[in-house]
Amino acid sequence: MSTLAAPPAPVVARRRRLPSWSSMLLVGGSVVAAAAFAWPLIAPALPTDAQAAAPWAALALAPLVAIVAVLAVDGGFRSAKTLALLGTLTAVAAAVRVAGTGVGGVEAVFVLLILAGRAFGARFGFLLGVLAIALSSTMTGGFGPWTPFQMFACAWVGAGAGLLPRARGRLGEIVLLSVYGVLASYAFGLVMNLWFWPFAIGGGTGISYESGAPLAQNLASFWLYSLTTSTLTWDTLRAVTTVVGLAVFGPAALAALRRVRLSR
């Protein structure tokens, strides 16, 4: 009796997944924001001129933050459960940030941003960072030229966690997130220092901004300024707080967030 060979399984062509337009929008908006942060290294200005221009730079960033945040919520991000989760975590993050206001360097909200970005992806982490700063600033009346910069800086913290590679095991993942938390804590301090450094102190010191100076000279002065004013104090305390929070709450919180993600 003859047998017929089973027909070969259909070959499914693998298509390379292209980034969505909203993801490209987030990248483009972040590039523009990064230029706004780094303006002292791009556009020379006297400290007095820089101080006068800072509020205008912040006003220019504010609508960019709003546009990027709104347009980033594309069709695949508009489910009722996803938006409800984003709203809930925004409220929690804002409450955590308000509770920590006035404690130098302590940013417990970083723990939530990192865990949410890790569990739900870079876009979710980005939007959570933006909304958490907006809501907490509204609750405390703490809006100022610094607010749009804080929005983008915290958004990058949440987004970066969503871009981290896979880790082996639960312990490996917490270690990975903790290392990222340390780096993010110091990076946050650096970028937040950069935009106001030119007018933060007077001229004529070893850590002052000098208009028209070579880039290497201003970079060295900025590094010394950050090291003496925040890196060794505020930023280190932020890094320690973040690592402790991730070690204590990370495993259980990640498991809970992922269960929510799977049930959507």
Condensed to tens digits (0 to 9), the pLDDT of residues 176-231 reads 999 999 999 999 999 999 888 887 777 778 888 887 788 888 899 999 999 988 89
Integer distance in angstroms from the first to the last C-alpha of the chain?
Answer: 52
Please name the residues in contact with 122: beta carbons below 8 A apart, sequence gap of 6 or more: 23, 26, 158, 159, 160, 161, 162, 163
Residues 6+ apart with CB under 8 A from 187: none
Q: How far apart are CA 65 and CA 167, in angstroms?
A: 32
Lowest mean pLDDT among 51-65, 133-147, 174-188, 243-257: 51-65
Q: Which of 61-75, 121-135, 187-201, 242-256 has the lowest mean pLDDT?
A: 61-75
DSSP state of 14: P
pLDDT at 34: 81
221-229 long-range CB contacts below 8 Å, 24 or more apart? 222/40, 222/193, 222/194, 222/197, 225/193, 225/197, 225/200, 225/201, 226/189, 226/190, 226/193, 226/197, 229/193, 229/200
pLDDT in tens, 129-185: 988 998 988 888 777 778 888 888 999 999 999 999 998 889 999 999 999 999 999
Q: What distance in Å separates the CA atoms of residue 29 and residue 73, rounded to the nearest whole number?
A: 14
